Amino acid sequence: MLQKVGAVDAGGRRLTPLGRHLSGLGVDVKVGKVLLYACAFRCVEKGLTIAAVMAVGKSLFQKDFDDSGGPARKAAVRSFQVDGSDWLTACEVWRQAEINKSSARWCRDKFLSRSVLREVGDLREYFRRSLRDGGFASGARGEGAENANAGVDGVVHACVMAGLAGGGENVARWSRAEGVFCGKDKVALHGSSVLSEKDWGAGGGDDRLVVFGEKFSGAKSTWLNMAAVVDPLAMLLVGGEGGGGGDDVKVEFVEGRLLVDGWGAGGVRCNARIGAGLRELRSAFGAEMEGFWGRKDGRGGGDLERLVAEEEGVARLVLQLIKHN
């Protein structure tokens, strides 16, 4: 796991600069990587919420989303839903919870778990302090430079992908013709996921990538939850082994299909020249991020500002590609 998120070197014996920062956060490495990339990609507030929801590991709602709650419950749950993303839906729940101060009446009317929201809030503040103490964020709340990309869904999902998608883990393939697969195993979207309402079985269309936070087996099926349909470009640039690339990333072409670390990148097809360019871009981005983590070493946040502000920086180019793809 540590190698897959880029926290240790190829020999598995020595922490990388990123690994040192992740160990300093004192959280699960996947959660920590989401937080650090949210700082680098300027979507800190949503990164705090997503990381806290990941760490809590509980539904924000009182019960699993099913028919037992009736029309009122369904209407309440759907009032938060962001199409195609449980992670962004969780961010919307938290945004409204802050506005309504998570009052008992509001939580009851919206079928939300007030105790879980408190846990999420406590963890957000703990993570905020940790990032501030590490020099990755100012600790200030609200809008500003640190949240300049908070409204760009692709950037937020890229941070999730960076944390969850090491070596193709926590990534599934959605084929309109065949369904949802983790590797060769067919799986299903849990009823509480906003993705469960999509027409997965309709024919035609390209494959899509789904990044998920939970996978569990029932009597007859394996279910995915806390999921989102993501841009394959995020997988190409920040997902896969190490997440953020480096020279170890393996990019192959099989019948014109692009594979990253042996995993099909959402059915992306391109010629060898374009694929080679993407490989070089990923490698350069990984090297730039590795240099950034190495320069930090507990010092202030000036390097972070420079990393994403340089007009010709690779990280800036990657951000622009994700934002405008």
Instruction: Give the per-residue pLDDT at 109.
Output: 92
How far apart are alpha carbons 161 and 240 in whole angstroms?
A: 9
Instruction: Give the per-residue pLDDT at 141.
Output: 82
Instruction: Give the per-residue pLDDT at 104.
Output: 96
Instruction: Give the per-residue pLDDT at 122.
Output: 97
| Model confidence at 9: pLDDT above 70 | no
- CA-to-CA separations, 157 to 15, 91, 229, 297, 302, in angstroms, rounded: 26, 12, 9, 26, 25
As a whole-number percent, the residues of the chain with pLDDT over 90 amount to 31
Write the pLDDT tens digit of every residue in 256-307: 555 655 555 555 566 667 777 777 888 888 888 887 777 765 444 445 555 5
| Model confidence at 246: pLDDT above 60 | no
| Tokens at 128, concatenated | 């905020």
CB 134 within 8 A of CB 149: no
Mean pLDDT, the chain, integer: 79
Neighbours of 177 (CB within 10 A): 10
For 162, residues 6+ apart whose C-beta sits below 8 A from its C-beta are 33, 34, 37, 238, 239, 243, 244
**For residue 251, what is the enclosing H or E element?**
strand 251-254
How far apart are alpha carbons 201 and 80 in whole angstroms?
A: 25
pTM attached to this predicted model = 0.86
How far apart are alpha carbons 120 and 189 in whole angstroms?
A: 24
Highest-confidence range of 25-39, 196-210, 264-278, by mean pLDDT? 25-39
